Structure 1
Amino acid sequence: MNRPKIAIVIVTFNRSGYLQDLLVSAAAMETDPHAIVVVDNASTDDTQDVLASAATSFPAGMLINHQLKTNTGGSGGFSEGTKVALELGADWVWLMDDDVEILPDALEQFAPWMERFKVIHGRRYDFDGTPFYWQAKFNEFLGVPLPYSGKQFNREGFAVTNSGTFEGMLIKADIVREIGLPDPRFFISWDDAAYAWLAAQHTKVVYVDAFVLKRKREQKQVNLGIRHLNDGSPLFRFHVIRNRAYVGKYFREYGKLNRFGFGLGTALTFAKEIFRLVVVQHTLKGFGDLVRGFRANRALWRDKTWRPMDPADVPAQLTNDR
């Protein structure tokens, strides 16, 4: 049986130092991927120089430098990168931010799970070497992913979820063709959770007890026991409230939207972001970002022209190797 073609999709913006470290780790992988697609979101630093230098560390044609003319956010970058990966004939797409490094045996760790599931999240180490906390499952009444127990893995070493993160989501091309490309309209925030939720309407989405990545960027955070709460930027605060409307519209497409419960979930999200400002960042200075996000949220709910991503826009499966 042929080895599946795994394309790594990295989205980067003005973080050439992190990108350089990530590409060094990619070059040290025990098994080569089919392709590494780096989507440069119109960076203004030396990202292009880093990519040119790194190209010599990979077989010819493996490292794809896909430079965008404008910054489309993480959402737009992952949408474009997934499209490019499938055009290159990838059977699987492994999505990741630029501020991680790949553990050398990552693909070997994924291999047995790829025989059983079609959307997989591996575990990550935090920047200090401790296991990074990410365990979440959408509460569909509230429309928000809630953390669950740290002892979430079953005896076989996996947990079924319906949420996800683009900091390490591995998705089979067949599922992308069923649900469409990641939605670039999110720009940032909720895009990965909503995309995994969409996938979960078609297949099992799992979190497996196998370490594949390490986070490199240190963030200001507060440990709440059941989860860590990181700091957030003004862009994040705006979009985390605005994009609730996009999540709700996808829920409605699948008949899962409870308007009362979802509204309550939005109120809880707003309250959580105020808590984040006060407890993590020790300020209320970003409150206006949340208010602007809420106004934009209301406008999106009134938009009657919105449609979900069209699976017909996903590149067809190639019959021959590139």
Structure 2
Amino acid sequence: MSATAAGIDGLCLVIVTFNRSGYLRRLLESVAALDPAPARVLVVDNASTDDTAAYLSAVTNSFPIPLTVRSLEENTGGSGGFAAGIQSGLDLGAEWLWLMDDDVEALPDAVAALGKWTGKYDCIHGRRFDEAGHPFFWQHRFIPLLGMHVPVRGNVFRDSPVFETNVGCFEGMLINAAAVRSIGLPDPRYFINGDDEIYGWLASLEHKVVYVNDFVLRKVRPQKQIDLGIRHLNDSSDLSRFCAMRNRGHTAGYLRAHGRFSRAGFAAGTLLTAAKELLRLAAVERRLSGAGSLWRGWRESRTILKDSQWQPMPPLSRTEPDRPAAPPRPANTPE
């Protein structure tokens, strides 16, 4: 389970896509140019209604790397898509899983860049360029007291090419299959927003989670953003805002399960999360019409917090009948 001259042993690239065939096409073109290449590419089509299925059908047999497509019957969001993709990758014998959204491109030497770290770490994130070609800001730590991640100031690579953290990102996370089995699959109840954050934290409880000073991806979807000095704030969607607040209920559940929940601290984190989303609306998107989605999400988070039957996703070494099924898209929530 280490890097070899041919790349990373048993590497499966897992891509989750939904109604963005143009971005998916560009991503797969960049994956085809990877040198060295992954052993397999697995695309999870999250019930797309555009021409994604037709494109994948046309490219599967001619793709230079073994390509597997898993088509879901409903849109389960990023969290449900990655849960399905990781499970399929494990079923296909993957030793490493490289998780990726559909709106990025892989740099040609990305596998080699990540591979040099696989002998030391089980959960690895490489750096990304943004759509304009500038380094994309991603240096955070998860604060259990608040139940949220916060940015880390300064150049985290000033003294070392490795920054140890405790938060994850499914836009490029490379994770060892043994680590996945020990912590379980991503929680599909999140749908989007916060699923990778908590997954990275869960991984950090048993494994080192790192951010390395090697550029491996380039974001291709343009986003509005402002520079706040200690972090960048990007535009979002009402669905993402709803889930940001709703999913705090699930995050509280994980904190409780690991004895790290503080009612006062978590309440403060909820206020900070809402404030950040309101700032995003006002300063980046220049509107406040999406504020209602925060209120609806908060109310739903309260329902989750009161659910005495809530259980975390189990490790894969346990039996799986009690695993929550991937939920449908949250109802009455605008995109």
TM bucket (normalised to shorter chain) is: over 0.9
Instruction: Quote the offset at 1:312 in angstroms.
Output: 3.2
Contact 2:182 2:317 in 1 (8 A): no
The DSSP-based 3-state class of the residue aligned with 2:285 is: coil
Of 31, 39, 44, the residue aligned with 2:44 is: 39
Equivalent in the alignment of 1:320: none
CA–CA distance in 2 between the matches of 1:313 and 1:183? 16
Query: Which of residues 105, 109, 112 in structure 2 aligns to 1:108?
Result: 112
Q: State the aligned residue count.
A: 315
Aligned to 1:89: 93
TM-score, normalised by the number of residues in structure 2: 0.91
In the other structure, the counterpart of 2:180 is: 176
Q: Shift of the alpha carbon at 1:69?
A: 0.6
Per-residue deviation, 1:315: 10
Aligned to 1:23: 28
Partner of 1:55: 60
Name 1:71's counterpart in structure 2: 75
Distance between the aligned counterparts of 2:300 and 2:131, measured in 1? 34
Could you say if the C-alpha distance between residues 21 and 175 of structure 1 is closer, same or farther in structure 2, counting changes exceeding 3 Å?
same
- Residue identity opposite 1:30 in structure 2: D
In 1, the alpha carbon distance for the partners of 2:249 and 2:317 equals 23
Q: Structure 2: give runs of 5+ residues left out of the alignment.
A: 321-335
Q: 2:150 aligns with which of 136, 146, 153?
A: 146
TM superposition shift of 1:53: 2.9
Q: Give the match for residue 102 of structure 2.
A: 98
Q: CA deviation at 1:68?
A: 0.5
Alignment correspondent of 1:10: 15
Q: Distance in 1 between matches of 2:16 and 2:279?
A: 29
The answer for the alignment partner of 1:159 in structure 2 is 163
Structure 1 residue 195, shift from structure 2 partner: 0.2
Structure 1 contact 274–287 (Cα < 8 Å) conserved: yes
How many angstroms apart in 1 are the aligned matches of 2:319 and 2:29? 30
Q: Is the 8 A contact 2:106 2:218 kept in 1?
A: yes
Q: Percent identity?
A: 51
CA contact (8 A) 1:180 1:314 kept: no
Matched, 1:303 2:316: no
Q: Which residue of 1 aligns with 2:254?
A: 250
Shift in Å, 1:154:
5.6
Of 43-52 and 12-21, deviating more is: 43-52
**Where has structure 1 moved over 3 Å in runs of 4 or more?**
312-316
SS at match of 1:311: coil
Unmatched 5+ residue regions in structure 1?
317-322
For 1:135 and 1:164, how far apart are their aligned partners in 2? 10
Two-structure CA RMSD over aligned residues (Å): 1.7
* Structure-1 residue corresponding to 2:325: none
Q: Shift of the alpha carbon at 1:281?
A: 1.0
Match for residue 287 of structure 1? 291
Contact 2:183/2:315 (<8 A) preserved: yes
Q: Distance in 1 between matches of 2:278 and 2:57?
A: 42
CA contact (8 A) 1:18 1:98 kept: yes
Corresponding residue to 2:205 among 201, 204, 212: 201
- Secondary structure of 2:116's counterpart equals helix
Distance 2:172 2:265 in 1: 30
Q: In 1, are the aligned partners of 2:32 and 2:64 still within 8 Å (CA)?
A: no
Contact 1:139 1:146 in 2 (8 A): yes
How much does 1:54 deviate?
A: 2.5
> In the alignment, which residue of structure 1 is the partner of 2:327?
none
**Separation of aligned partners in 1, 2:61 and 2:140:** 39
Instruction: Supply the distance in 1 between the matched residues of 2:291 and 2:146 (Cα, whole angstroms).
Output: 22
Query: Is contact 1:86–1:315 with CA below 8 Å preserved after alignment?
Result: no
What TM-score comes out, normalization by structure 1 length? 0.94
Contact 1:245 1:298 in 2 (8 A): yes
The whole-number CA distance in structure 1 between the counterparts of 2:159 and 2:292 is 46
Q: For residues 314 and 18 of structure 1, what CA distance do their matches in structure 2 show?
A: 37
Q: Equivalent residue for 2:333?
A: none
Matching residue's letter, 1:82: I
